[in-house]
Structure 1
Amino acid sequence: MSVLDVVALQLAAEPGNVAGNVEHLLAALRKHGAGSDLVVTPELVTTGYDLAMFDERGAELAEPLDGPTVTAVAEAAAELGTTVVLGILERDGDVIYDTAAVVLPDRSVYPFRKTHLYPDELTRFSAGQDLITVDTPAGRLGPLICFEHAFPELATTLALAGTQTLVIPSAVPIGYEYLLTLRTRARAQDNQMFAVGCNLTGGGFSGHSLIVDPSGEVLASAGAEEAVLRARLDLGVISRERNQEPALGMRQVDLYRPEAVGRLGAVTAGDQ
């Protein structure tokens, strides 16, 4: 599929109200996801994002990937024929992850566990150990989660692994929306791929989700309120941008090490 219909659901989530949040998410998914190829949701949209709450109730609120929330989203994805990127608090045994679950229309689920945790998250979540790409009916997706858009190397690694669309569930607070908007555009243009940054809103979160093309142009954007973003992504634009400026193919990785940086002494003008 070379042209995709993509939706980003910028939603609010009440901390701790999993049943209400999931009901709200499923209603939005069924209302706005019909006819789409890809739907992206915010970070931890099922539980809300509240670190103090996770200290007290994290084990209670987290769910395994075969739990009721992912199962319900998988059923909706199958009904709609769309791929869904779901932000969820995942429990695997006694370990808790901040996860983006990529749910395909055939009900298969591919979890990406946040690898680069924000400092305040280090005592609440375990860090994932792997980057992933997922081949879906909506093309090859590369997930990152919120703070991870601060690391250009992650996006470039995913681009080199064939990612066509970078999907970034986020929970960026009010006052820091510029980080979401600037970095999402930069990661898209740096690597000449599409990017979808879908952020929580309400409860201190800023919204300002956006969908960006491989040149860094914003195709759709939201303000601070709940919103549904839609855009058509022509995957052929990726190769056109990369042919025009083949930066990824011209990387010189041997130079990208601190020990490879030389220090030259000054030359005095006029010296022979």
Structure 2
Amino acid sequence: MIRIGAVAAHFGRDLEFGLQRVATLIDHARRSGVALLVLPDAALGGYLADLRHPDPESLPPALPVDDPHVRKVAALAAEMVVCFGFCEADGDQRYNSALCVTGDGVLGLHRKVHQPVGESIAYSPGERFAAFDTPVGRLGMLIDYDKTFPESSRALALDGAEVIASLSAWPTSITNRAPRMAQDRQSRLFDLYDQARAAENQVVLASSNQTGALGGMRFLGQAKVVGPGGDILARTWSKAGIAVAQIDVRAEIAIARRVLNHLTERKPEAYG
């Protein structure tokens, strides 16, 4: 049995303030016995303030993987497995990236593949989905829009991922904002995708998200842990907090796949 925590919290441009918030969240999670903590996308430096027309002069700070701020998160993680998002600098390229770390260093890196309109002004796209081994099992990561596409999670599941960490800075609808967040189209889709991606692959999914606002963006929160049957085990709703669920990941996956095993019963030859 392990405890998985998915975070809903606000992060802006101030890197030092972001690190302090990360430290506080890790401390709270540690006191709750969490072994895997999934922080939101853009936890270091914040997300874009305008998704349709990003201002090149006010983009998130770009950090190399060996930046001191990144190393500080790994040091804070210590024995815990922690996933978090940041703007990665690699030469002249900028990526919307997620890192999975412990105190021993980097376990995995994912660069967001699928980009909504406008994001290509700020970031280069990633090119692949790959799972990796961690002290809490085999893990894969998604960022934001990646989870809209079933192939993203399926590629991770086929690569052996038992847990998918889905890190988001997911806003309310930009084109048709509802008066109440619960009625917002993107709010409904966010929950739908989380449950569907877990159920169709029969894996555990930990979904984090930003809260609050940045520029014209208003973020949903709605962090949650979803079981391999698509059932929500813990959630934060729209408020900031940590959704914590205790689960025997391999046992629950085995139960879900005991009769109907979606991965082994695929018919790839019929999908062309």
TM-score, normalised with respect to structure 1: 0.88
Give the secondary-structure state (helix, strand or coil) at the position aligned to 1:90: strand
Superimposed CA distance per residue, residues 208-261 of structure 1 (whole angstroms, 9 cap, x where no aligned partner): 11110000000001122211111012121101211221222111111112xxxx
Q: Does 1:55 find its partner at 2:56?
A: yes
**In structure 2, do the counterparts of structure 1 residues 76 and 54 end up closer, same or farther at CA, with 3 Å as the change threshold?**
farther
Q: CA offset at residue 128 of structure 1?
A: 0.9
What is the rounded CA distance, in whole Å, between the counterparts of 2:169 and 2:82 in structure 1?
18
| Other-structure match for 2:165 | 167
What is the rounded CA distance, in whole Å, between the counterparts of 1:167 and 1:113 in structure 2?
13
Q: CA offset at residue 108 of structure 1?
A: 2.8
Select which of 204, 221, 238 maps to 1:194. 204
TM-score, normalised with respect to structure 2: 0.88
Specify every segment of 5 or more residues in structure 2 that has no aligned partner in the other structure, as ranges: 173-183
Paired residue type of 2:229 = S
Q: How many residues align?
A: 251
What is the rounded CA distance, in whole Å, between the counterparts of 1:90 and 1:109 in structure 2?
16
State the Cα RMSD in Å. Answer: 1.5
Superimposed CA distance per residue, residues 18-75 of structure 1 (whole angstroms, 9 cap, x where no aligned partner): 22122111122123234321000011021111245662143x7111111022111110
Q: Does 1:23 find its partner at 2:23?
A: no
| Other-structure match for 1:213 | 227
Is contact 2:46-2:86 (8 Å) kept? no
Give the secondary-structure state (helix, strand or coil) at the position aligned to 2:121: coil
Give the secondary-structure state (helix, strand or coil) at the position aligned to 1:126: coil
**In structure 2, do the counterparts of structure 1 residues 170 and 47 end up closer, same or farther at CA, with 3 Å as the change threshold?**
same
| Other-structure match for 1:69 | 69
Of residues 102-111 and 132-141 in structure 1, the stretch that sits farther from structure 2 once superposed is 102-111
What is the rounded CA distance, in whole Å, between the counterparts of 2:193 and 2:239 in structure 1?
21
Give the secondary-structure state (helix, strand or coil) at the position aligned to 2:40: coil
Rg (Cα) greater in structure: 1
| Other-structure match for 1:256 | 271
Superimposed CA distance per residue, residues 67-113 of structure 1 (whole angstroms, 9 cap, x where no aligned partner): 022111110111xx110001111111111100010113422342111
What is the rounded CA distance, in whole Å, between the counterparts of 1:186 and 1:232 in structure 2?
20
More helix by share: 1
What is the rounded CA distance, in whole Å, between the counterparts of 2:24 and 2:68 in structure 1?
16
